[in-house]
Amino acid sequence: MNSCMVGIDLGVTSEHVACISDGDGKPSKKTIGFSRRHCKSDNLDATTLVRASLIDAQSLQEIQLTDATTFALKRASRQQDKFTWECSRIKQRILSFCAWVMPGVKECFEDPFSQVARTFYWHFTDPFKAKRAGIKGIGGRLEKATKKKIEDSL
């Protein structure tokens, strides 16, 4: 297998230096300098790093670069995790607010974000509106939204 090695000396106060070897492990005569924020320059370190394959090949680790599809999938998974976390955070905030405004309302529903619960929150968060509607009015609104029979006990 023919491969090349890249030795990079990461700089602290000046630019980084890289040296590339051929398939036999012999370093090229020219080193490549490139910058990041905090850099230092040391051509000797870069050349030494690229010769490491000749001295101790067992200590080197081969890196596997992912293909574009795998990388896109990883990025999408991270975005989905972030989105899921944000949604759960918002749901907890809504529940906290509802518990503050109407203590004990979470315990009225098996699932605090079911269609019945969401309809109740949407229409009857105002206690005066709920009082005006009464049990029959609240039940009628919830039945209309969910198309299910709502027990008065709810």
Nearest partner of 21 among 11, 35, 37, 32, judged by Cα: 32
pLDDT for the residue numbered 87? 94
**CA atoms of 5 and 81, how far apart (whole Å):** 36
| Average pLDDT rounded to a whole number, residues 48-54 | 71
pLDDT-based confidence at residue 23 (cuts at 50, 70, 90): low
Question: Residue 24, by phi and psi: left (phi above 0), alpha (psi -120 to 50) or beta?
Answer: alpha
Token couple for 78: 């991270």
> Does the pLDDT at position 40 exceed 70?
no
| Average pLDDT rounded to a whole number, residues 9-33 | 76
Q: Tens digits of per-residue pLDDT, 80-139?
A: 999 999 999 998 998 888 888 888 888 888 888 888 888 888 888 888 888 899 888 888
Residue 22 C-alpha from the chain's centroid: 39
For the chain, counts of helices (H) and of strands (E): 5, 3
* Cβ neighbourhood burial of 81 (10 Å; 0-12, 13-18, 19+): exposed
Q: Tens digits of per-residue pLDDT, 53-82?
A: 777 777 777 777 788 899 899 999 999 999
pLDDT for the residue numbered 139? 87
- pTM given for the model: 0.47
Domain boundaries, the chain: 6-54, 68-146
pLDDT for the residue numbered 39? 47
Q: What are phi and psi of 32, to 5 degrees?
A: -115, 125
Q: Where are the alpha helices (DSSP H) in 17-112?
A: 43-50, 52-55, 68-101
